[in-house]
């Protein structure tokens, strides 16, 4: 028989993060996971992203991501970090509408150049996620250790 009280004591309670802290944490990382629905099935892709005025931007090429965004654009982006040194981890999730940025050359210089897609060439479309929600959690990773 399990000792559920003892097990629950070992599971750390997550700290719910305020939106401002979520945005700050997102500026500290550059890779996240983009969740989309394509052909009525969920799919997840790693993306290099950047925070731009409480929105998130990333580059993509022609293909599954772009087609799903053009077909309806509802997405989720998750980013996280784990620090073994400090014994903490965090995760932030943004949900919202994604749209292709109609850009000028100035926009490309300001937004696009710092974004380095993993696949390299052919990532000519800049996508912006306008969030309808942003949530975050911070966890202690050394549960039960003092």
Prediction pTM value? 0.81
Asked, for residue 109, whether it belongs to a domain, the answer is: yes
| Tens digits of residue pLDDT in 97-144 | 999 987 655 555 565 555 555 555 556 788 999 999 999 999 998 644
pLDDT at 72: 85
Other CB atoms within 10 A of residue 51 CB: 18
Q: What is the number of domains present in the chain?
A: 1
pLDDT at 146: 46
Asked, for residue 25, whether it belongs to a domain, the answer is: no
pLDDT at 90: 97
Asked, for residue 93, whether it belongs to a domain, the answer is: yes
CATH no. for residue 72? 2.30.110.10
Asked, for residue 71, whether it belongs to a domain, the answer is: yes
What are the start-end ranges of the E strands in 17-107? 31-38, 41-51, 56-60, 74-83, 88-100
Asked, for residue 6, whether it belongs to a domain, the answer is: no
Asked, for residue 11, whether it belongs to a domain, the answer is: no
Asked, for residue 84, whether it belongs to a domain, the answer is: yes
| Domain carrying residue 75 | 30-140
Mean confidence (pLDDT) of the chain: 83
**Lowest-confidence segment of 6-10, 91-95, 123-127, 136-140 by average pLDDT:** 6-10
């Amino acid at each position: 028989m399990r000792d559920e009280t003892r097990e629950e004591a070992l599971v750390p309670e997550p700290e719910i993060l305020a939106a401002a802290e979520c945005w700050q944490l997102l500026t500290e990382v550059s890779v996240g996971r983009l969740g989309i629905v394509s052909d009525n099935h969920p799919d997840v892709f790693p993306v290099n992203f950047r925070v731009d005025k409480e929105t998130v931007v990333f580059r993509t090429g022609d293909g599954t991501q772009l087609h799903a965004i053009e077909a309806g654009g509802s997405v989720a982006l998750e980013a996280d970090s784990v620090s073994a040194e400090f014994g903490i981890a965090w995760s932030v999730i943004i949900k919202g509408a994604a749209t292709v940025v109609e850009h000028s050359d100035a926009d490309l210089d300001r937004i696009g150049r710092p974004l380095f897609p993993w696949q390299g060439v052919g990532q000519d479309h800049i996508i912006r996620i306008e969030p309808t929600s942003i949530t975050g959690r911070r966890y202690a990773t050394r549960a039960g250790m003092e």
